[in-house]
Amino acid sequence: MAKTKLNPFTVAQQQLDQCAKILRLDPGVQAILRVPSRELHVSIPVRMDDGSIKVFQGFRVQYNDAKGPCKGGIRFHADETIDTVRALAAWMTWKCSLLDLPLGGGKGGVICNPKEMSQGELERLSRAYIDQVARIIGPEKDVPAPDVYTNPQIMAWMMDEYSKISGQNQFGTITGKPLALGGSLGRGDATARGGLYTVREAAKELGIDLSQATIAVQGYGNAGYYAACLAQSLFGCKVVAVGDSKGCVLSETGLDPQAVAKHKTKTSTVCDFPGAKAISNEEILELDVDILFPAALESVITEENAPRIKAKIVAELANGPTTPEADVILHKNGVHVIPDFLCNAGGVTVSYFEMVQNFYMYYWETEEVHKRLDRKMTEAYHGVLNTSKRYNINMRQAAYVVAVERVVEAMKLRGWA
Ligand code: GLU
């Protein structure tokens, strides 16, 4: 674990600076890209169940909209900070660009502990957040979605609130909605599924037989859970370890991801899953597996533990799990990193499909979503791989090169730079 928690925005800026050097970016252009274009800080009063009023702090950061309306999730987290939201908004900008979506990057966050809030309190908080940010969101401006500890129900409340404010249904303003309210088929598991398509391509490149591969999944939320299920069902991988914030479990003979999820629903953690051995949150990252999926929060692979990472592929389903110092070590040790804004881009890609379907009022079959997602992810993966070979740089640097070049082109064409 990191001794001192790194500031994720410093990490995002360092990564961009590296890319600017590789691309020999004009310093003025680099200066524009180092900071968010706009941010809104809001105080959100919410009536709690005991009758008291609590004022939560929230943010919406619109990082760059050169390529289209900002896009990105909203996180509900006790440790949320403005710098985390800034970093995540920057990464959304690169993510949408890398996947060649006609979108910019944004992110929202509220400092709260959703685990300690009732459904009623969560609903009032979600609606009050939208009341505060309504003036800067909308299908042509900025389109929020789920992220850590927000889900389709929360998106439904948010969409409803925005619709009430605008006096008409506004399905295209929020994505990750339930199916009954203009959600897209295939959005639920899209982040993990997209990540697995990139893992499939990486395995081909590295000559790894996925049907014999072992995996460890750190984080058992939406992305981690579906990654475990799909790795097993699509490719026949063996899931040897999974973990959440409370601890991790290991079974050399393999875990049943669905049974673990049921256990987590009952007990609120994967810990004490029958028949599995308990391991720590540090140990799971260092297991001798073929593929490691960091699928929780930022800065978990650092210069301290990177030398002990044994996985052949690190597939970053989380945003920002690896620090720049750790990147250097992993690259030197031959670990193939599928960087976050490539690996986890399936979520926003299907969010974009959801927007398209909302605008057309015509909805696709699941197979159509999967086919289009596969095409997008595979193309993006090979674009990054080829760039990394051409410039002799690591996969993250290559992803930056592709993404930043496109944003810069859009800025130049608009006359911003
Ligand atoms: N929160 C997800 C991400 O980090 C999805 C964003 C979206 O769908 O707009 O990519």
216 and 267: one domain?
yes
Q: By CB neighbour count within 10 A (0-12 exposed, 13-18 middle, 19+ buried), where does 234 fall?
A: middle
Q: What is the pLDDT of residues 367-404, one digit of tens each?
A: 999 999 999 999 999 999 999 999 999 999 999 999 99
Q: Which amino acid is at 391?
A: Y
Residue 252 belongs to some domain of the structure: yes
Kindly state the average pLDDT of the residues 70-93: 97
What does the pLDDT read at residue 4? 59
Contact 172, 144 (CB under 8 A): no
Pocket flag, ligand 1, residue 348 (CB < 6 Å)? yes
Report the nearest-CA residue for atom 7 of ligand 1.
Answer: 348
Report the nearest-CA residue for atom 9 of ligand 1.
Answer: 72
**Last residue of one domain, picked from the residues 163, 181, 199:** 181
Residue 5 belongs to some domain of the structure: no
Instruction: For residues 288 and 265, give the distance between their C-alpha atoms in angstroms, rounded to a whole number.
Output: 28
Q: What is the pLDDT of residues 12-40, one digit of tens each?
A: 999 999 999 999 999 999 999 999 999 99
Catalytic residues, by residue number, are: 107
Pocket flag, ligand 1, residue 71 (CB < 6 Å)? yes
What does the pLDDT read at residue 112? 98
End-to-end CA distance of the chain: 40
246 and 326: one domain?
yes
Report the nearest-CA residue for atom 10 of ligand 1.
Answer: 348
158 and 84: one domain?
yes
Task: Answer yes or no: is pLDDT of 2 > 80.
Answer: no
- Report the percentage of the chain scoring pLDDT > 90: 98
Comparing CA positions, the residue from 226, 199, 190 lying closest to residue 348 is 190
Residue 12 belongs to some domain of the structure: no
Neighbours of 1 (CB within 10 A): 12
From residue 170, how far is each of 91, 119, 137, 213 by CA, in Å? 26, 23, 11, 44
Task: Answer yes or no: is pLDDT of 168 > 50.
Answer: yes
Q: Where are the alpha helices (DSSP H) in 61-151?
A: 82-98, 119-133
Q: Please give the helix or strand (H or E) that residue 376 lies within, else none.
A: helix 366-391
Instruction: For residues 404 and 95, give the distance between their C-alpha atoms in angstroms, rounded to a whole number.
Output: 10
Residue 382 belongs to some domain of the structure: yes
Pocket flag, ligand 1, residue 183 (CB < 6 Å)? no
Structure tokens at 305: 């533990």
Give the mutation target among 70, 173, 191 for probing the ligand 1 site: most ligand atoms within 8 A of CB: 191
Q: What's the pTM value of the predicted model, to 2 decimals?
A: 0.96
Kindly state the average pLDDT of the residues 333-340: 98
318 and 340: one domain?
yes
User: 212 CA to middle of ligand 1, Å?
Assistant: 31
Pocket flag, ligand 1, residue 351 (CB < 6 Å)? yes
Instruction: For residues 355 and 144, give the distance between their C-alpha atoms in angstroms, rounded to a whole number.
Output: 11
What does the pLDDT read at residue 6? 84
| CB under 8 A, 24+ apart: contacts of 128-131 | 128/44, 128/45, 128/46, 128/56, 129/42, 129/44, 129/56, 129/58, 129/74, 129/158, 130/158, 130/161, 130/162, 130/165, 131/161, 131/165
Q: What is the pLDDT of residues 219-262, one digit of tens each?
A: 999 999 999 999 999 999 999 999 999 999 999 999 999 999 99
Residue 27 belongs to some domain of the structure: no
**Last residue of one domain, picked from the residues 181, 207, 235:** 181
170 and 207: one domain?
no
User: 278 CA to middle of ligand 1, Å?
Assistant: 31
Kindly state the average pLDDT of the residues 143-168: 97
- CATH number for the domain that contains residue 148: 3.40.50.10860
Q: Which amino acid is at 47?
A: R
Kindly state the average pLDDT of the residues 113-127: 97
Pocket flag, ligand 1, residue 173 (CB < 6 Å)? no
What does the pLDDT read at residue 21? 97
Give the pairing of strands 277-279 and 247-250. antiparallel
226 and 368: one domain?
yes
Q: What is the pLDDT of residues 312-329, one digit of tens each?
A: 999 999 999 999 999 999
Residue 348 belongs to some domain of the structure: yes
95 and 215: one domain?
no
Domain of residue 99, residue span: 38-181
User: Three-state DSSP class for 18?
Assistant: helix
| CB under 8 A, 24+ apart: contacts of 44-49 | 44/110, 44/125, 44/128, 44/129, 44/132, 45/128, 46/121, 46/124, 46/125, 46/128, 47/124, 48/121, 49/118, 49/120, 49/121
Task: Answer yes or no: is pLDDT of 1 > 70.
Answer: no
- Chain-wide mean pLDDT for the chain? 97
Residue 26 belongs to some domain of the structure: no
User: 342 CA to middle of ligand 1, Å?
Assistant: 12
**Last residue of one domain, picked from the residues 148, 163, 181:** 181
231 and 107: one domain?
no
137 and 189: one domain?
no
> Quick one: DSSP state of residue 176?
S
Comparing CA positions, the residue from 191, 193, 41, 202 lying closest to residue 110 is 41
Residue 10 belongs to some domain of the structure: no
Q: Which amino acid is at 213?
A: A
Kindly state the average pLDDT of the residues 64-88: 97
Kindly state the average pLDDT of the residues 211-221: 97
Instruction: For residues 140 and 69, give the distance between their C-alpha atoms in angstroms, rounded to a whole number.
Output: 5
176 and 315: one domain?
no
- CATH number for the domain that contains residue 408: 3.40.50.720
Pocket flag, ligand 1, residue 70 (CB < 6 Å)? no
Q: Total domain count for the chain?
A: 2
What does the pLDDT read at residue 181? 97
Q: What is the pLDDT of residues 266-307, one digit of tens each?
A: 999 999 999 999 999 999 999 999 999 999 988 999 999 999
175 and 190: one domain?
no
Place of tokens 């692979």: 301
What atom in ligand 1 is closest to the CA of residue 147?
A: 1
Instruction: For residues 228 and 269, give the distance between their C-alpha atoms in angstroms, rounded to a whole number.
Output: 16
294 and 390: one domain?
yes
